[in-house]
Structure 1
Amino acid sequence: MMKWYSEVGLTPAAYWTLAWEQAAQSDSRVGNDAEEESYWQQHAPVYDERNPLAPYTAELMGTVIASLRSEDELIEVGPGTGGFTQLLAPHVGKLTVVEPSAAMYEILARSWEQSGLAQNVPEAIRMKWEEASGLVCDVLFSANAFYRIRDMKESLAQMSLTAGRRVYLVQSIGLPFAHPLRAMYGGKQLERSRAQVICDILQEMAVPHQMDTFAVQRKSGAVHDVALISWDT
C-alpha cells in the first residue's frame, strides 16, 4: 500500500490533508462549523428515519462489545444521534460523548429518553475532537465521524493518547454511504477509501492495527462493506 504513496509523491497523512483542503473548496460544510451546524439543524430530526447504520451492525458491534468491561470508561467521538451510543452504554461503566453539534446532541438526548435505557443521558463534551484535550478513557470509539478532520495523523495520535486500552473506528465504504478521499495532484485524479487511508496513516505512524470488514445490509436493502479499524494503546 505504501508503494502507491511513494509513486504519487505524498505521505498518507499529506494525502488526507490535501483531499480535505480540496473538499473544503467545493463543500462549505467541510471547513465551516456554522455551515455544518446549519445542515444538522435541518437534517438531524430525520436522520434516524432515513438509513441509519447502527441498527444493522450486529456482527461488527458484537466484536467491539466482546472486548468491553463493565468498569470501562468509554469515550465516543461524534456520536451523532446516538445509535451506536445506545448499543455501547449497557456494556461499560461510564460513557462520555464528544459532540460539537447542538442539533445532533438534542436528538441523541431525546432518543435516549425514549429508549428506556437505565443509564442517564451521556455527558457531552461540546467541541470538535481536534479541539478536545486532556481526556482519558479505557476505550475510544468513533463511527463515520472523520470527514471534517483536516489533520488525521494528529487526531489518531490524540486518540491513542486518550484511550488506555483500545481504539475502535468504524468507517463505511462505498457510495452512496461514504465518499472516498479524492484529490488532484500532479495532474492526476487520485482516489482511495477513507478506511484504507486511515490504516495507511496508522502504518505511517508505526501503529500496529487491524482492519476487519463486515458486509452490512442497510434499511434500504443496499449491501456494502463497513470497516472496523482497531488497535491497542
Structure 2
Amino acid sequence: MIVMAYDYGTIVIGGGPGGLAAAYGLAAKQKVLVVENDLWGGTCPNYGCDPKKMLYRGVEVKNAALRMNGFGISGTAKIDWPSLMAFKRSYTTGVPAGTLNGLTHAGITTLYGHAQLLGEHAVKVGSQNVTGEHIVIATGHTPRYPDIPGANLLKTSRDFLDLDQLPTSIAFIGAGYVSVELANIAAAAGADVHIIGHSDRLLRAFPKVATEALKPLLAKTGIHFHPNVELTKITPLG
C-alpha cells in the first residue's frame, strides 16, 4: 500500500470565521495551513457584521434618547459620522493582525495570497505549491454587481462601512436585510435615503405581514422605498 506524504493534514482556503473555526478545531490533531488573500479575519469582523453593529449602536442610542425625551432626558441626540467611524475603526483596524497572531500562537501555518486548486490534494499560492490530505474551501461571498452599463460606479456595503464622510443623499440597490440595515444607519445619521427594489417586496425572505408593517416605520425615519424598479444603467451626476 502506498501512503502519500502531504505537507499538511488540512489546507484551509479562507481566513474568515468559517475557515478559522475549521483550522482551530483541527490544529490540535494535525498540521494545518490557512490561506488568505484579503484581510485576516474575513468579512464579518473586518467589513461585515461587527463594524455594522458598531455603527448601528449609534442608531440605537439615538433612538433610545428620542424615546426618553421628556422622561429625564432632554435635548436631541445627533450622530457625528466621523466620530462614529473612528469608533468602528478602533476595533476593525486591529482585527487582521490579531487574527494572524492568534493563528501563529496556535501553531497554525499561514500563507497570504491567491489560492489555486491544482488537484484533489494540491494548492498553489503565489509561486508556492503545497499539498494537503484534506482541503477546506471557506472563501465566503463577494458582492455581485448588476450587469448593466455604469455598474463600475457603484459602491458596496464594504465601502459604506468605511466612509470617511456620509453623503447627503444615498441609494441602496436591493431591498434585502443588508440594504435595510445600512439604510437605517444612514437615515439616522441624517442622509436622504432611498431603497430601490426589484419587486414590490421589502425583505422578501421574511414574512410579508412583518415586512408590510415595517414599511411605514421606515418611512417615518425618512427612508424612501421604490418598488418594482428595473435598473438599466448607472450614470454619474454632472
TM-score after normalising by structure 2: 0.27
Larger radius of gyration: 2
Q: Which has the higher helix share?
A: 1
Q: Which has the higher strand share?
A: 1
